[in-house]
Chain A
């Protein structure tokens, strides 16, 4: 065990009434990737917050390089070689790349004047060593998320970090970008860094990690070599029971065509000449790389962006939509990708979040809202969507990602849409909750709703869709049947027009 970099020994953390961490131990060796897995609430992030000093641990010890450490905050940890690449990147977007990397410790003359040249050269050097191709003088906000993440990694490297924690690093990356990320992680391994890798994506974890530690209910369940594991084993450890299937049984039956899109092109983005049909009670998957126009397609149909040409028919009648309000009236609904940015109203309660798109139904005498009806509808949402919440008046931000997503589904179900468009409905949601979301989607289709679902996770498209359209470069590259296709075929279609 000479190679031990970081040891977290018997960490315990209690919150009033809950034991969030119960004697959890974790050992990270030099030059390895250690995956940390568990459902949301299993204690992964609490453990990391104890490591970074955001929470004070109640018991146990953290030993870095043979010395016991107690970081005061993430800055302290960073300076001692422990860095974190957050799931939600926290950056000064209006500043340049190199400004962001050296923020808080600019190289200076006389401690006041910034040495821009050294800053540029140092940045360049780190980028070269990681094979990152970004101009250090670019303004952050003009970079895509994947590159901003690279910058964050470079920042960690610039601190000479020995331990780097990745929190859901691939949640907004496409496959090529993931490949590049893994390449960088492998370089970090070669340098002797220890990596803690938190993710819900099993396939990725098996590919990149050397060790897998599974946590459940604040306890350490098991640590194994990744080569000894497979998806089923991990899931079994995570949920503590056998999940017989990752996907629920499909019970919906597609009927007649309800929506027809003909030669749709957009004014301001890449959508070009898109035609497809959607049947009643059908779950239609849309696959493709990030940037292939999947989200843009949903937004365009929903009336969020300008249409250059093309027609959309609902029930054979042409649909003329000026704005999103028209879309809702016509029976369309859109569950957006960025739940936090444009899905939930974080500080409002469940009731407001569930009824916000449907307020016109509760107006009495053109004047006031009928609270009783809103309450009973919210109760229905909580029941039918199986939302786990203490009450209707709980702020939605306090719920887990899965439960937030269920409330949003419920919101749109209240508007009784005919067509429900879902953009990455399971992003950032843990395995157990994902299964429930799949169940809900299939149930909705079974009840005669038509679903269009965009996802970057091919297994889930293959698992629950009736048909899959593959997009590439803003247009449709092909259509596949989930029963007969495989991931390779979808991938090759997705890269057709790249």
Chain B
């Protein structure tokens, strides 16, 4: 009995391997920092479509949030005969990971396209066949701050529920030590405050004065809806209408966290689509967020254009495989001065 089962399992495994393995060795090898990120998954789907359209063979890797895994995957891909490396680098805290990949690629003379998670100018400049495609990490934060400030100027009294003249806010940070999270957390509040102060209004006030950080962070670093949900429902137990200190503004590093916060709000009767609504702002413009905004349950988000990102990467990859200059056919206004970095612009999204 046991032998039969073991046998069946082994055969299944072999079939599985045979089914999954694709013999393609050349072409583009794409390394994603993790498959579990919703935005990155979106880029992955779109990039796959673009590659198929352009008839480029490709191979995807999941680095599962681990730089060591990714570096080893890159090594393997090079030995397998990769013609282009498309890397969503895991470790953005220092240059070591990215320059390690550059060193390997230089030896094998393979072009490298970094995307989404930013690498430094020094790294990009260190190898002629290297570009970065991404966004300006600071831009999302600035844009979110601007959007919040403008929204508040237009809706100040409506937002100031207890009429004390000040807006109390809560802010959910996706992850400690990540540049995008740091910039978004900082600029969303700073820029909104600038606009408010210029218009003669007081600065935003964090809802809980005893918290010196002025943000609540997902301890698993997953930018997750669950973390925002649990923080929000806990906060709402002591900051609510009954105590006349309701939280008046919700700022989230991404749309996933915004969704979690909205779920918590709706369990106390807010943001259910009626007029009773706390403004909630996110980043990414995921499908879910767009839908929430449409249903009047969320206020605004910053659109990271996954489609444009994917198309740009695909064009650059095609250039690399065909021996053209990497930045051929790319909108020059998107390219940074003095370094081969392509910036896909963000845009505000407040509903159609």
Direct interface between A and B, CB < 8 A: no
Interface residues of A (CB under 8 A from B): none
Interface residues of B (CB under 8 A from A): none
